A = this chain, B = another copy of it.
Amino acid sequence: MPYDHTAPGAEHYLPVLEEIAAEVAAKPGRGRSADYIPALACVDPDRFGMAVADLDGGVCGVGEWRTPFSTQSITKVFALALVLAHEGTGLWEHVGREPSGNPFNSLVQLEYEHGIPRNPFINAGALVVTDRLQTLTGDASADLLAFLQAESGNPELGFDLEVAASEAAHGDRNAALAHFIASYGHIRQPIPPLLDHYFRQCSIEMNCADLALAIGFLARHGVRADGSRLLSRSEAKQVNAVMMTCGTYDAAGDFAYRVGLPGKSGVGGGIVAVVPGRCTVCVWSPGLDERGNSVAGVAALDRFTTLTGLSVF
C-alpha cells in the first residue's frame, strides 16, 4: 500500500522537532554552502528543515521539510543497498568497509591500497558501487531513481540535470579516481558513461520527508515500504554499520560521538539517520563545516538523540 507524506503516526515527535528548530533559528550564520558546484553555492546556508518518519510511513516535520534539495552523497547509501540486494557480498572484493581517515576524494590511500577504495561512501568507493550497479542493471541511475520514488512514495522525484552537468564540468577529480581504480581492475564499465550515471545519481532532488521515508527500509531491518524484503536482517545491520563508521566523510567518529546513530550526509546539506526498529530522521541545512557535513544538521541530530534518548549507545 503506497503511503503519502501526510500519513499520520509520527506526530509525537513534533514537539522535539519544534524545540530543535527554535534552537537552530536562534543561532544562524554557521557554515558555508558547498562552493564547488555553482548550483549549490547560491543556496542560503541558514535554511533548515527536519522530518521524522516512523516504521509505518507516518512522517512529520518542521521548517522547510517539504523543500527539495540536492541529495548528493546521501544517494550512495541507496546505491549500496541496491547492489547488495542484487549480488550480496561479491561487492566487497572491489571495495572495503573501513573508515578512510582521509578527505572524501583522496587518492593517497587508494594508491597504498592497490586501487580498492576504503569504503562505499568515499567518492572512489561510490564509483565502484555505481560501476557494479550499472553492470547488474544496465541503467544504474534510472534504477536508483525508481527505487527512491517507490520508497518515498513520491513519483515526481527526478534528476537535476543542471547540477549533474555542473558536476561533470568540474569532474576531473572524479575522472582521475575512476581511471585510477580502473587501472587496478576494480572498475570495468567505460568511464565517461559511468561518470554520467554517477553525477546524475548525485543530482537527485528530494525533501526531508522523501528521504526519511526512503531510508525506512534500514529502520525496518531490510523491509521495503510495500512490505517486500530488499535486504536480509543481517544485510540491513551491515549497511547501518557502514553508515555508522563511514557515513559522514572524515567525521564519522565525531558524528558517532555526538549523535550516536548510523547516518549519511551529502554536500547539499542533507543528513539521514536511522534509529533501528524505531524511526528515521532527515535534516537539511546547506551550511557545511570544513569536512563537508551540515553544521546545523549535525547539531540538530545531536539534540534529537539527547532529547529523545534514541541513540543506539
Contact = CB atoms under 8 A, between A and B. Distances in A.
Contacts of A118: 101
Interface stretch (A131-139, A205-213, A253-261): A253-261
A311 B312 CA distance: 9
Contact of A245 (B110, B256, B309): B256
A241 B245 CA distance: 10
A97 interface: yes
B257 A241 contact: yes
A251 interface: yes
A138 to B, nearest CB: 23
Give the oligomeric copy count.
4
A166 interface: no
A277 B238 CA distance: 21
Given A108-B111, A179-B176, A183-B176, A99 B306 contact: no
Interface centre among A119, A176, A183, A254 (most CB of B within 10 A): A176
Interface in A67-111: 96-102, 106-111
Contacts of A312: 276, 312-313
Interface in A140-181: 170, 172-173, 175-180
Contacts of A102: 101
B183 A179 contact: no
Contacts of A99: 98-99, 101, 245, 252-253
A256 B119 CA distance: 13
A301 to B, nearest CB: 13
A236 interface: yes
A34 interface: no
A262 B311 CA distance: 13
Contacts of A111: 106-108
Contacts of A130: none
Interface in A236-268: 236-238, 240-242, 244-246, 250-254, 256-258, 260, 262
A228 interface: no
A308 interface: no
A41 interface: no
A97 B255 CA distance: 10
Nearest to A97: B253
Given A98-B253, A236-B313, A241-B313, 16 more contacts: A97-B254, A97-B257, A99-B253, A101-B102, A108-B108, A173-B180, A173-B183, A175-B176, A233-B309, A234-B306, A237-B311, A241-B256, A244-B313, A245-B253, A246-B253, A276-B312
Interface of A: 96-102, 106-112, 118-119, 170, 172-173, 175-180, 182-183, 233-234, 236-238, 240-242, 244-246, 250-254, 256-258, 260, 262, 276, 306, 309, 311-313
